[in-house]
Amino acid sequence: MQNPTLFQFFHWYYPDGGKLWPEVAEKAAWLAEIGITAAWLPPAYKGDSGGYSVGYDTYDLFDLGEFEQKGSRATKYGDKEGLLAAIAALKQHQLGVILDVVLNHKMGADEKERVQVNRVNIDNREDISDDVIEADAWTRFTFPVRNGQYSKFIWDFHCFSGVDHIENPDENSIFKIVNDYTAGGWNDQVDDEFGNYDYLMGANVDFRNNAVNEELKYWARWLMDQTQCTGFRLDAVKHIPAWFYKDWIDHIQAEAEQPMYIVAEYWSHDVPTLQNYIDQVDGKTMLFDAPLQLNFHHASKQGADFNFTQIFDNTLVAADPAHAVTLVANHDTQPLQSLEAPIEPWFKPLAYALILLREQGVPIVFYPDLLGATYEDEGDDGNNYTIDMPAIPGLETLIKARQTHAWGVQTDYFDHPNCIAFSRSGTEEHPGCVVVMSNSEAGEKTIELGENLAHRKWRDLLEHREDIIETDEHGTAQFFCEAGSVSVWILAE
């Protein structure tokens, strides 16, 4: 038995040129060895930016790097053959394969159509003008290169509820398309930011069109058959009606040979909002714990001024641990991204200890944090700038410790604003651990482990402390950590 541990095998600034799929295949064995149980791969299909697309500007869901579309055959990450080889390598080492699903919008249409639209107030999407405008919009997707292979479905303006660009007259804003499905306005069961957050970007998919729904179910079946993936990460679900994904997940689970692992991105820092979404989909998906990631961000910025006992306050993992995927960073929180909320380097080992070694939630490790990354580019001012994302010291050790020592009953010692601790009791098969961390000066905690651990010696797995600690006849001892640091104490014998 293993503790589930996910790995996000990409980041926003990953280099182009088809390097990722070979790297996935190369590192699969090592990831399994250190304790990763599943890898989340980026969108594997062709985006509007072709070989330069990170993958969230969806063009053709059926092009996994197989067709000469948008300037290249391969995607940014490689061709279809490379993708399938990467997945085979992961599965060979008993790793799950989670594929990214971006269904909210399409971009890069092949043809324009003459449509009718209403202007929309971008700050209040419920404020829709009654005036009807005749205009051209890029809403027809025919995929002429693929030419009907795998699917003959043609997307036209009946498949979309809105666009952000029209021509003749030329205008950029948000426009609601007038068709058979949009008379009632935007979709329901979406986030209420801006009044209604159905529209995000591009040609906004309208899930009220049953032909669209059936095509997306068919695509999911096709993708599972082509790739033999074991799960999905659902992008931007706050912009997609919950009733659609409830039905879509039911469909794929019924078609799958084994239960598919589903985690969705609903980026909200309001826990009741996240819980409401979980209820709307009948608990059929996990959610990323955005509130916890924000707490980590604040804690890393405020240092000793942050009350460490409140690190899990108002988080999904505290309210509903069975549906929480805990994280320290992802591609959207990286520097220069829309949800930028970086964690200061000194705090990252503490944050990872808090998600990897605790009982609640399923943790996910971010590529640059484990492997490091550097991004160089030219800014608008003509100067070159560099984003350096160094690997976190000790992270590999913490991932391994999740499998070797993060077992048994958890006892929290959250009794000081700057120094907190927790212990894991261990099981018959696995020893436990004691984790102590401080966001200020060096800290210590008196931990009672019980008489079964009397007169036992302990050492710091992370080697931040060189001393050996011995429990007394009651199994009690003082455990220490350095300033602004974390120590993981394990049995030394």
Catalytic position from the list 235, 320, 332, 369 = 235
Instruction: Please give the single-letter amino acid code of residue 244.
Output: F
Burial profile 426-462: b = 16 or more Cβ within 10 angstroms, e = fewer: beeebbbbbbbbbbbeebebebebeeebeebebbbbb
Catalytic position from the list 48, 206, 265, 369 = 265
- Dump the DSSP string for 428-473: SSS--EEEEEESSS-EEEEEE--GGGTT-EEEETT-S----EE--T
Q: How many other C-beta atoms are found inside a 10 Å radius of the C-beta of residue 275?
A: 15
Which H or E run includes 29? Answer: helix 20-34
Q: How far, in Å, are 73, 78, 83, 211, 266 from residue 63 at the CA level?
A: 9, 12, 12, 20, 26
Give the residue carrying structure tokens 């038995």. Answer: 1
The Cα–Cα gap between 106 and 84 comes to 24
Look up residue 487 and give its two tokens: 């120590």
The Cα–Cα gap between 398 and 352 comes to 8
Instruction: Please give the single-letter amino acid code of residue 467.
Output: D
For residue 155, the cross-strand partners are: 141
Burial profile 206-235: b = 16 or more Cβ within 10 angstroms, e = fewer: bbbbeebbebbbebbeebbebbebbbbbbb
Q: What are phi and psi of 45, to 5 degrees?
A: -105, 170
Burial profile 10-39: b = 16 or more Cβ within 10 angstroms, e = fewer: bbbbbebebebbebbbebbeebbebbbbbb
- Beta strands 160-166 and 171-177 are antiparallel
The Cα–Cα gap between 491 and 432 comes to 8
The Cα–Cα gap between 209 and 414 comes to 51
Active site residue 473: no
Q: How many other C-beta atoms are found inside a 10 Å radius of the C-beta of residue 367?
A: 24
Look up residue 226 and give its two tokens: 């082509």
For residue 386, the cross-strand partners are: 376
Angle at 200 between CA 373 and CA 254, to 5 degrees: 85
The Cα–Cα gap between 106 and 164 comes to 12
Are 332 and 294 contacting, i.e. CB atoms less than 8 angstroms apart?
no
Look up residue 256 and give its two tokens: 């799958």
Active site residue 265: yes
Catalytic annotation, residues: 235, 265
